[in-house]
């Protein structure tokens, strides 16, 4: 009887386990102000050697810019070559946040090229409001990842 009860409990434990793995290939996502955030659309462009990754939701636009596509870490808040901008629209009002020379901080890291025509990396930043903010003076992104984002020809 103990063996049957043990098997029944074991079967119940395995049946109640659930995988919550979400595959996102490609993807741009992270934690925005400590809440999970994922773009619904994204692309990247290279213009004059500079990389720009665009990520969109219906009400938000995130733009990550680095001076090069070379793998490495790019510090934010130091110059205008490596920067981030984020804008959101709530009830018809738009707020814009940015990093730049002496504004905000953070880092964009470009990983080794894994697949031709795509870009992969990580990001984190604190961007400051440049317009009258709707939601706060600073927007914070942590654990940001852009994975196999397709690079389009610059227009």
Q: Classify strands 105-110 and 93-98 as parallel, antiparallel or unpaired.
A: unpaired
User: Who's near 153: CB < 8 A, 6+ residues apart?
Assistant: 45
pLDDT tens digit sequence for 20-72: 445 557 899 999 999 999 999 999 999 999 999 999 999 999 999 999 999 99
Domain boundaries, the chain: 26-153
Spatial contact of 117 and 82, defined as CB atoms under 8 Å apart = no
pLDDT tens digit sequence for 136-152: 899 999 999 999 999 98
């Amino acid at each position: 009887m103990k063996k049957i009860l043990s098997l029944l409990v074991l079967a119940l434990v395995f049946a109640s386990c659930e995988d919550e793995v979400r595959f996102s290939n490609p993807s741009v996502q992270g934690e925005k102000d400590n809440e999970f955030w994922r773009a619904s659309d994204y692309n990247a462009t290279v213009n004059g050697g500079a990389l720009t990754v665009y990520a969109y939701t219906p009400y938000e636009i995130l733009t990550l810019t680095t001076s090069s596509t070379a793998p490495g870490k790019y510090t934010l808040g130091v110059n205008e070559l490596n920067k981030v901008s984020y804008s959101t629209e709530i009830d018809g009002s738009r707020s814009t946040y940015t990093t730049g020379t002496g504004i905000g901080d953070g880092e964009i890291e470009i990983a080794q090229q894994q697949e031709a025509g795509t870009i992969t990396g990580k990001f984190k930043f604190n961007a400051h409001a440049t317009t009258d903010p709707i939601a706060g003076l600073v927007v914070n992104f942590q654990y940001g990842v852009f994975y196999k984002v397709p690079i389009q020809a610059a227009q």
